[in-house]
Structure 1
Amino acid sequence: MNHRSRPKNRRARPTFLRTLALGLALFAAASAGTAYAAPPTAEQAPRTLPAKVIVIGAAGLTWYDVKGSPDLTALVNQANVGSITVKTAGPHTCPVDGWLTISAGTRAWGSVPGDACGELPTVANGKISDWQTYVDRQAEHHTGAPLGRLAESRQGVCGFGPGAAIAVARADGTVGDWQPGVELTKLGGCGDAIIDAGVMPLREGREEARKRVAELVKQAEGAAPDAWVLLVGIGQEIANAHQEPLVALQLPPADGPRWLTSDSTRRPGLIQLTDVTATILRGQAKELDPAGEEQPGPLDGNVISAAGDKHTDAAAVIEDRLDTNERFEHPRPVLIAVAMTLLVAQLAALGWFLVTRSRRARSTSEFTMLAQGGFFIAVFLSTATVWWRWPSPGFSLYCVVLGISAVFAGVAKVLLKQYAGLGILLAAYVILLVDGVLGTPLQFGSMFADGPVIGGRFYGFGNSTFATLAVAALVTAGWVAQKLLERSRMQAALAVLVIGGLAIIVDGKPGWGTDFGGIIALTPAVLLLAWLTWRGSISLKALIGIGIAGVLAVSAVAFLDYLRPEDQRSHFGTFVARLLDGDVGDVLIRKLQMSLAFFHTPAGWFMLAGVVLAMIATVWPDKVPFESYRRYYVSRPMIRPTLLALSTCGLVGMLLNDAGVALPAIMAGFTLPLLVAHLMAATVLPESHLVQESSSVDRHRQ
């Protein structure tokens, strides 16, 4: 029998390797198919770059200010409107952080954590006081922000007011065409201009400040009728203020008032502070290399444009912006509340079952475990309910997420019995694939997305979403392979490549998931699962080959994205550009710092301990003190490969992703409750059946 099987395996091996190579080629080709296509956005207005840009920056200017000021409200229907995220490199965005960010074109760090924002630095003898302190701070925190790039890249930019002096300062801190006060009569002699409208007072004097800002906008329009006038929030007024997207208006609109956007956010109604610099520079930047020669330098932002439908109702626009603030304010706090609710319910139900061993307690405990699995779907589907427009948005979100979680748990339990968890995983897989292809509409403002306040990902899949998709894809692939295994190991392995490959493509494709770190972790996990499905075991040589294949696939996608125009690149192409420019060191250090930051609190070490224990259980099941798990581990041939693939994905993601230990912890948080629910629901197999299953496993391995 063994002699007959060996020639068959030798013939199958080249076929499988050719198929594997074809799959990788198709993945790269599919990514290349959109590498040169513009990202999907709403209808774009005609894109024209103005001859002159006048930026009026007001720290702390919110949409509540617009609502409370007839003068600012009157500007809404005369402008392209949106919100601006002012998150900079540091934990807080004081005005000095915002002005330094405009100066650098990338996120800068100006304030001292824990200290009040304080006054802006003064100009003495034509130079910003303590300028070197800010330059050193960028090096200390590895921001990579080239302070002074705006002035070095574009001549003729005038500044008016203290904050504008920082924005238009050169790389050495000297200030050229700058006035301490606002003198709009001098705008005619400027190429572009930056005006500091001051800080919005917290209480007394805020109404007067609103009138002053509105008057500045009108005067700037009158002084330079051929210019764009950008009114934007710059930063928060105090260091520990709750950050929210601030006001962004652009006058006059080229084709009727629409919603502001940029290629850096790809979301109508939202821009970044770094987009302001990119707009002044018209998307082109220069920075000085160590030899003193100008070299092209990457910008974090992109040129501001307008998109979407025209708006003609100022009151409706303002309410939409205030609703949007609610959308971004509540998800993170509610996430904690929902997680604690589910945890308490699980512990209570499990304790009831351990004490009584009753059927009802067992069923209740299964339900709570399944509800946690449903939660990983509810965080996305809740976005479709538009909860932020409901009364009490925070409480509404809390109820919606728990309700959807319970519905998925109940329906799956009734229809699929002990395989309810598999149904939830399959639903998560399909929903996230569809969401990715549609441009991730369910991600923005969800609990698993970094909103504008955090200044994280504005489009595509974030780390938490990737963790959910990875678990769903690998388990679904393992289950389908199990069904095909009796028919053909080759077919089972190909099914793994198809199911896992779809997840890789959707997760990594620019314009869809656009997740650089995700495909780095998921690609080797899918290849490992396919290999183990086909061969049953893996050698060191094959393991190295899988790693190289994964690196090549990811590198191909990144390079193809780099070939696109600079303003259309995603995270892939931007990383390659920084790598080729020699500017990737600070990026890698910052990501490492973010990864290690979890260990500054006991929660990080607790997550690490849980992740290590979970990985040990997948590699050495005999070490697990639960007989039901040990029986389950050997009950089906595909259980071991699937668990090993999950551990591989989590381990690679933890080592190479800025989410660090949080990524495998999220994966475990999705997988473990569903596994426990399955073990609790499964009928204990007779010993004779276990022997038959073990014999079946041996036959497959042969």
Structure 2
Amino acid sequence: MNLPGMRRLLARTLIPIAALAGAAAALPAAAAPATPLSPSAPQAREALAAKVVVIGVPGLTWFDVQNSPELTALVGQANVGSIAVKTAGPHTCPVDGWLTLGAGTRAWGSVPDQPCGELPAVADGKVQGWQTYVDRQAEHHTGAPLGRLAESRANVCGFGPGAALALARTDGTVTNWQPTFDATKLASSTCGDAIVDAGAMPIREGRKEFRAKVADLVVQARAAGGWVILAGISQEVEWAHQETLPVLQLPPDNGARWLTSDSTRRPGLIQLTDLTATILRGEAKPIDPAGEEKPGPLDGNEIRVDGDVHTDSAAVIDERMDTNQRFDQPRPMLVAVSMTILAAELIALGWFWFSRSKRSRSVFSFTLLTQGGFFIAVFLSTATFWWRWPSPGLSLYAVVLAISAGFAAVSKVLFGRYAYVGIALAAYLILLVDGVLGTPLQFGSMFADGPVIGGRFYGFGNSTFATLAVAALVVAGVAAQKLIDRSRVQAALAVLAIGGAAIVVDGKPGWGTDFGGIIALTPAVLLMAWLTWRGGITLRALIGIGVTGVLAVSAVAFLDFLRPEDQRSHFGAFVARLLDGDVADVLIRKLEMAVAFFSGPAGWAMLVAVVLAMLATILPDRVPSAAYRAFYPSRTMVRPTLLALSTCGLVGMLLNDAGVALPAIMTGFAVPLLVAHLVASPRPATVSPESHLVQEH
């Protein structure tokens, strides 16, 4: 993600979380393999091998499909889905979409903070200003090899200005291209696969007529044989509402189903680079502008079909419109829910501060636990299918608040002043199960970047990992405390078992698939286990833990690399880039993402809060809270648990593209639970260090 995009994401999502964490810190005392597009139909596969025609329409939305009888009719004859058109830049203008289609990797074509503008002209067989686009990829470290499609696939013909961008060679020259659509040319033997620029949807007037024109274009293209893929290729203007756009593939094989790909692993969803992979049949000749072959894997995978046959076009369109709500509402509602919980905490804090009554103490503790429950509710809310309810945004807001408060209430009833244990245990178990099932609760949740932002399509994102890490380390600490009187070895093994399960689920390709997560969690679990076993640590042991963590993560990545290329996750893809010397752009982009958080005061505020929280774990005597100073030495496992949390946050901040956001989210989950426990305990703990962390009450 680019710097401007990260700033907007920070403003919309991380500021509320940082504010919640800061408020709590200042207190006193959440898939089955797809079927290939046509593996069981030799005739259909033959057609695909013969011709693939991609018709791109910038700005085509599901609203347009719904309001066009012609396009609605095509839905019943097609495999359908939505396409994520996020490219490398902050907006996906038409030029970004077409360049990405030609590169097979997210490209950056438009100029930030400027209107999308017209597509470049073709003069003397060359795209005008081509070098500008090539230079832009280097400037923004996209790694997008412009011209790859034309260099990799011979006999691809193009129609329209957008197709010229997609089919330009590395030097910007275009062959087998015409400025307007020609059905005769498309059907000729000189035209193999084809890319057609149908033109951008009009902003206001003429949209109805244009939709009919697009539907007619699909009919003409189908007459040429092969597969016809109609897709929204980009947003029509830079300020357009960001959403997933429609994609239809005709004719369907054995009934109309849902489009997907291995790059998204979600039925009904593909990404823009999947179109390139489908044209190339998943194979690309890796070319650089100098004409020398070098590695450069495609970002996408061939389009596939999955799911049941759909027979009702209107129902399909309604479902797609609901799905857009699923991706559109979580971000603004994240801010709304966060601010609501923060307001409740501040009001409860004021009441407790002035009255110090038993009731105000209980209410204040409850609001803090509600913030902890929020980190579970963001995932469980997706199980309610809120996007199909009336007023989806309001429904999501109410559902998340209700689940958050519900977990707080149940935990207080079952665990008393140790309610934080119930919330941490629930988060741990729910995320483990979700990971093993293929992360169905992540998709469309408040903590998922989602297809519009271009984040994860499957697996655990940074926010999910932060939640799991806190939950796993807290649960491991509680379990170890229960065992440590009997045997330090058993307690250490419990830490390894509980933390190890989280590492496996978080990191296993196909489950959490979180490379950055296991890099941070593995040394934290090992450190916690060592401290549990030995009670202290030497420099040699610390170095050994670090080396062991690196070797474990490297082994997972290398094993993933050994799998077939089309089955690798980003673990294996990273190793492939590393071995091929093509990893510099990836590392630079990730560093830019991490540094981007410090472009405004919120990032620095998060850093200050995180540093203070970490210092509290190693300098407890300096913390201005008698309750905390008494709590720190009162249980044997408090120190190992807090040090493990700090280690995980620190490593994640230094080595993860989320930067300071990762430990900030961890702080936003962990600190309220800790403060809730301290507030719920009227007097400082006086039990011996070897006492159990969880006692009967």
Q: Same-fold call, TM > 0.5?
A: yes
Q: Which amino acid aligns with 2:488?
A: R
Asked if residue 632 in structure 1 is aligned to residue 631 in structure 2, the reply is yes
> Does the aligned pair in 1 maintain the 2:520–2:648 contact within 8 Å?
yes
* CA deviation after TM superposition for structure 1 residue 538, in Å: 0.6
Asked if residue 457 in structure 1 is aligned to residue 459 in structure 2, the reply is no
Q: Distance in 1 between matches of 2:61 and 2:51?
A: 26
* CA deviation after TM superposition for structure 1 residue 637, in Å: 0.7
* CA deviation after TM superposition for structure 1 residue 51, in Å: 2.0
Q: Which amino acid aligns with 2:446?
A: M
Alignment-derived partner of residue 204 in structure 1 = 205
Q: Distance in 1 between matches of 2:360 and 2:587?
A: 49
Alignment-derived partner of residue 608 in structure 1 = 607
Alignment-derived partner of residue 575 in structure 1 = 574
Q: Which amino acid aligns with 2:381?
A: S
Of 34, 40, 56, the residue aligned with 2:32 is 40
Alignment-derived partner of residue 16 in structure 2 = none
* CA deviation after TM superposition for structure 1 residue 287, in Å: 2.3
SS of residue paired to 1:250:
strand
SS of residue paired to 1:352:
helix
Deviations 1:365-391 (CA, angstroms, capped at 9, x unpaired): 000000000000000000000000000
Alignment-derived partner of residue 281 in structure 1 = 280
Q: Which amino acid aligns with 1:661?
A: V
Change (3 A) 1:696 1:309: closer
* CA deviation after TM superposition for structure 1 residue 291, in Å: 6.4
* CA deviation after TM superposition for structure 1 residue 563, in Å: 1.1
Change (3 A) 1:355 1:696: closer
Alignment-derived partner of residue 7 in structure 1 = none
> Does the aligned pair in 2 maintain the 1:471–1:646 contact within 8 Å?
yes
> Does the aligned pair in 2 maintain the 1:184–1:219 contact within 8 Å?
yes
SS of residue paired to 1:41:
coil
> Does the aligned pair in 1 maintain the 2:84–2:454 contact within 8 Å?
yes
Q: Which amino acid aligns with 2:589?
A: R
Q: Residues 201-600 of structure 1 correspond to what in structure 2 (within 5 A)?
A: 201-222=202-223, 224-225=224-225, 227-289=226-288, 292-600=291-599
> Does the aligned pair in 2 maintain the 1:439–1:511 contact within 8 Å?
yes
* CA deviation after TM superposition for structure 1 residue 579, in Å: 0.9
Deviations 1:618-641 (CA, angstroms, capped at 9, x unpaired): 010011010100000000010000
Asked if residue 665 in structure 1 is aligned to residue 657 in structure 2, the reply is no
SS of residue paired to 1:372:
helix
- Once the two structures are overlaid, the 10-residue window that deviates more, 453-462 or 574-583, is 574-583
Q: Distance in 2 between matches of 1:316 and 1:211?
A: 21
Q: Size of the alignment, in residue pairs?
A: 653
Change (3 A) 1:43 1:280: closer
Q: Distance in 2 between matches of 1:531 and 1:694?
A: 18
Q: Distance in 2 between matches of 1:50 and 1:332?
A: 41
Q: Distance in 2 between matches of 1:695 and 1:653?
A: 31
Deviations 1:170-217 (CA, angstroms, capped at 9, x unpaired): 000011110011111111221110000000011101011101110000
> TM-score normalized by structure 2?
0.92
SS of residue paired to 2:157:
strand
Q: Which runs of 5 or more structure 1 residues have no equivalent in the other structure?
A: 1-38, 698-702
* CA deviation after TM superposition for structure 1 residue 474, in Å: 0.4
Q: Distance in 1 between matches of 2:292 and 2:356?
A: 76
Q: Distance in 2 between matches of 1:615 and 1:142?
A: 33
* CA deviation after TM superposition for structure 1 residue 451, in Å: 1.0
* CA deviation after TM superposition for structure 1 residue 580, in Å: 1.4
Q: Residues 142-153 of structure 1 correspond to what in structure 2 (within 5 A)?
A: 142-153=141-152
> Does the aligned pair in 2 maintain the 1:83–1:269 contact within 8 Å?
yes
> Does the aligned pair in 2 maintain the 1:100–1:167 contact within 8 Å?
yes
> Does the aligned pair in 2 maintain the 1:285–1:296 contact within 8 Å?
no
Q: Distance in 2 between matches of 1:511 and 1:118?
A: 40
SS of residue paired to 2:282:
coil
Q: Distance in 1 between matches of 2:584 and 2:467?
A: 30
Q: Which amino acid aligns with 2:205?
A: E
SS of residue paired to 2:326:
helix
Identity across matched positions, percent: 74
> Does the aligned pair in 1 maintain the 2:168–2:174 contact within 8 Å?
yes
Change (3 A) 1:442 1:694: closer
> Does the aligned pair in 2 maintain the 1:506–1:512 contact within 8 Å?
yes
Change (3 A) 1:310 1:558: same
* CA deviation after TM superposition for structure 1 residue 294, in Å: 3.0
> TM-score normalized by structure 1?
0.92
Deviations 1:6-48 (CA, angstroms, capped at 9, x unpaired): xxxxxxxxxxxxxxxxxxxxxxxxxxxxxxxxx7335666434
Q: Distance in 1 between matches of 2:231 and 2:508?
A: 33
Change (3 A) 1:314 1:354: same
Q: Distance in 2 between matches of 1:391 and 1:291?
A: 56
Q: Which amino acid aligns with 2:530?
A: W
* CA deviation after TM superposition for structure 1 residue 256, in Å: 1.0
Change (3 A) 1:504 1:694: closer
Q: Distance in 2 between matches of 1:367 and 1:696?
A: 26
Q: Which amino acid aligns with 1:203?
A: R
Q: RMSD over aligned Cα, in angstroms?
A: 1.3
Alignment-derived partner of residue 641 in structure 1 = 640
Q: Distance in 2 between matches of 1:89 and 1:283?
A: 21
> Does the aligned pair in 1 maintain the 2:79–2:256 contact within 8 Å?
yes
> Does the aligned pair in 2 maintain the 1:45–1:255 contact within 8 Å?
no
* CA deviation after TM superposition for structure 1 residue 471, in Å: 0.2
> Does the aligned pair in 2 maintain the 1:90–1:111 contact within 8 Å?
yes
> Does the aligned pair in 1 maintain the 2:103–2:144 contact within 8 Å?
yes
- Once the two structures are overlaid, the 10-residue window that deviates more, 290-299 or 610-619, is 290-299
> Does the aligned pair in 2 maintain the 1:259–1:269 contact within 8 Å?
yes
Q: Distance in 1 between matches of 2:116 and 2:134?
A: 18
Asked if residue 87 in structure 1 is aligned to residue 86 in structure 2, the reply is yes
Q: Distance in 2 between matches of 1:620 and 1:286?
A: 57
Q: Distance in 2 between matches of 1:637 and 1:247?
A: 57
Q: Distance in 1 between matches of 2:684 and 2:335?
A: 39
Q: Distance in 1 between matches of 2:182 and 2:36?
A: 35
> Does the aligned pair in 1 maintain the 2:170–2:288 contact within 8 Å?
no
* CA deviation after TM superposition for structure 1 residue 296, in Å: 4.7
SS of residue paired to 1:287:
coil
> Does the aligned pair in 1 maintain the 2:636–2:690 contact within 8 Å?
no
Deviations 1:80-137 (CA, angstroms, capped at 9, x unpaired): 0000000000000000000000111000000011111110000011110110000000
Q: Which amino acid aligns with 2:32?
A: P
Q: Which amino acid aligns with 2:210?
A: A
Which structure would you say has the larger RCO, counting Cα contacts within 8 Å and 6 or more residues apart? 2
> Does the aligned pair in 1 maintain the 2:34–2:260 contact within 8 Å?
no
Deviations 1:241-284 (CA, angstroms, capped at 9, x unpaired): 12100010001112211000000000000000000111111101
SS of residue paired to 1:82:
strand
